[in-house]
Amino acid sequence: MNARYDVVVIGSGFGGSITACRLAQAGRSVCVLERGRRWSNVDFPRSPSQIADNAFWDPRGGHFGLLDYRVFPHMHVIQGSGVGGGSLHYFNVHLRPPAAIFHDIRWPATIDLASLDPYYTLARDMLDAAPLLPPRGRALPTRTTAFLGACEQVERDGELVPIAVYSGPGRRNPHSGARQQPCDYSGNCMIGCATHAKNTLDLNYLALAELHGAEVYPLHQVHRIAPAAHGSGYRVGYERLDPATATTAPFGQLSADTVIVAAGTLGTAELLLRCRDRLGTLPDLSPALGHGFSGNGDLLLAGTLTDADIDAGPGPSITAGADFATDAQQMYVEDLGLPDPLFWFIEGMLAGAVAPRSIGGLAGLLVDGELGIPGASRRLARERRHLLGGGRTRGFLPYLGMCEDAADGEFGLDGGGALDLRWNPSASRANFLELEEALRELSRALDGEYMPSPLWVAGDLLTAHPLGGCRISADPQEGVVDERCEVHGYPGLFVVDGSIIPTALSRNPTATISAIAERAAFLMIHGRELVPGDADTPSNRPGHIPERERLTPA
């Protein structure tokens, strides 16, 4: 590692990977600091015991997994950790929100669906996002056809959504040359793709960045940003994490003219709040810092229980969706498949176990007892023969519902300096109840019983799409970054991740985060907007990698 770079990028999710790639292509020296490890496709956990040991992020406990599950009052958050960030565990959907989302006054006037169009297109091409075309010898998953059939019955336009999943014959990825095999329908998108069919960021943007000289350092957690003592630029302080000893090595430091904070919504908020309120290194950060958290209107763990053989596990985790917008708000519902270990948890709930008032995190659900289901393990033991024979989840169709929440949560630091979130569901309750009506409508079409989320029944929610806290705004009193994603009052310091999104999107947010990251990078390099057919459109192909033979499936 050098002592100085043109650009230091903190985090390697969608915002970090995209900006690192484009700036490296433009000839900048780029260093990416990522707190998580680098995963190969053979390292991902599969069994419940492997998940307990290797899936979750808990450095103090010696666990450096790809899933980071946080529990706050009324809000649970799941996010990624590793080289590739949230792409390692997300559900692959690359979907644009409706234009009406950008009409909210919290969005800058310069950003709307039309202005972002060339950036959406660029990112979609890099991620090879397209509706599912079943691999050779396979059909659409039963879950998909059941969902689309229910949408037709309720006169909603169900559609196969664009997903970043490869389903053709074995090949070299066109953006990096990495080997890929087609989707094996394992349903394990959330816990890592063993065939590399999932177009995670380490197979495209990050790989292309490294081909252009970017340096990626896993297990480096940034704890401090400060302006350089003399001249422009910033000093970035980090600690090296050691999985072998579950300890941290002595702190290190490097310098850069440009620093891009892309640590994810929670990581970015925690780092910047620490720099402003604890360390005092960035004292002039906006008073809006920490305000405007949104769970993207996510409603997870709800579904329909039917007598049909839906078998929701096989296939990519999400394949289809439908618009359920009303006059009051935008809403979208998708089918949802989960890894087998998580279906054991759901099986326990459906077997009659009483859901706890406050579930202490997905990790706890999986590691408590033989099957990791608190309050349900004994019941499962009694019904094991029934469960192993297929159980009730064969007829369970889970959903991911998304609506417009109030985006009124607030991040802060607790007494020990750790991130805290204050979020109250009251201002968003009517919107979630309306979303539940859409799910009930689908349940009736399936001749099934609507099963509410046990968290929502208890007044809590789970989101896989945390947004906000460092909102984008032309007004430094209303937002942390300006319309170029540059931090107000700190030239050369940028935030490019989900934390800058000022509202719920009512759609999976990675496409929008990707588009805004492409836009931010293009503005940094060229000082203007990208337009269709632009001669300066960045390339999504490596160029100098020789053409390789097409592989045959294993």
pLDDT tens by residue, 478-505 = 999 999 999 999 999 999 999 999 999 9
**Mean pLDDT of all residues belonging to the chain:** 88
Angle between helix 510-526 and helix 14-25 axes, rounded to 10 deg: 30
Cα distance between residue 475 and residue 329, in whole Å: 26
Confidence of residue 549 (pLDDT cuts 50, 70, 90): very low
Cα distance between residue 433 and residue 416, in whole Å: 36
111 pLDDT above the threshold of 80: yes
pTM for the model stands at 0.90
Cβ atoms within 10 Å of 131's Cβ, excluding its own: 11
pLDDT tens by residue, 240-287 = 998 887 665 668 999 999 999 999 999 999 999 999 999 999 999 999
Q: In the chain, what are the domains?
A: 13-526 (3.50.50.60)
Cβ atoms within 10 Å of 428's Cβ, excluding its own: 23
pLDDT tens by residue, 419-434 = 999 999 999 999 999 9
Token pair 């956990």 in the structure block, residue: 45
Section 43-56 average pLDDT: 82
Cα distance between residue 292 and residue 493, in whole Å: 21
Q: CA dist 453 to 301, 397, 505, Å? A: 5, 13, 21
Q: Which phi and psi angles does 78 have, rounded to 5°?
A: -115, 130
Cα distance between residue 193 and residue 495, in whole Å: 29
Q: CA dist 265 to 102, 299, 498, Å? A: 20, 18, 5
pLDDT tens by residue, 135-150 = 999 999 999 999 999 9
Which tokens is 39 given?
Answer: 């995963």
pLDDT tens by residue, 360-387 = 344 344 444 433 333 333 333 333 333 3
HEC secondary structure over 343-408? HHHHHHHHCCCCCCCCCCCHHHHHHCCCCCCCCCHHHHHHCHHHHHCCCHHHHEEEEEEECCCCCC
Do 469 and 327 touch, CB atoms closer than 8 A? no
304 pLDDT above the threshold of 50: yes
Section 510-523 average pLDDT: 98
Cα distance between residue 424 and residue 75, in whole Å: 9
Section 285-308 average pLDDT: 96
Query: What pLDDT does residue 343 have?
Result: 59
pLDDT tens by residue, 155-184 = 999 999 999 999 999 999 999 999 999 999
Confidence of residue 45 (pLDDT cuts 50, 70, 90): confident
Cα distance between residue 446 and residue 441, in whole Å: 9
pLDDT tens by residue, 57-78 = 888 888 899 999 999 999 999 9
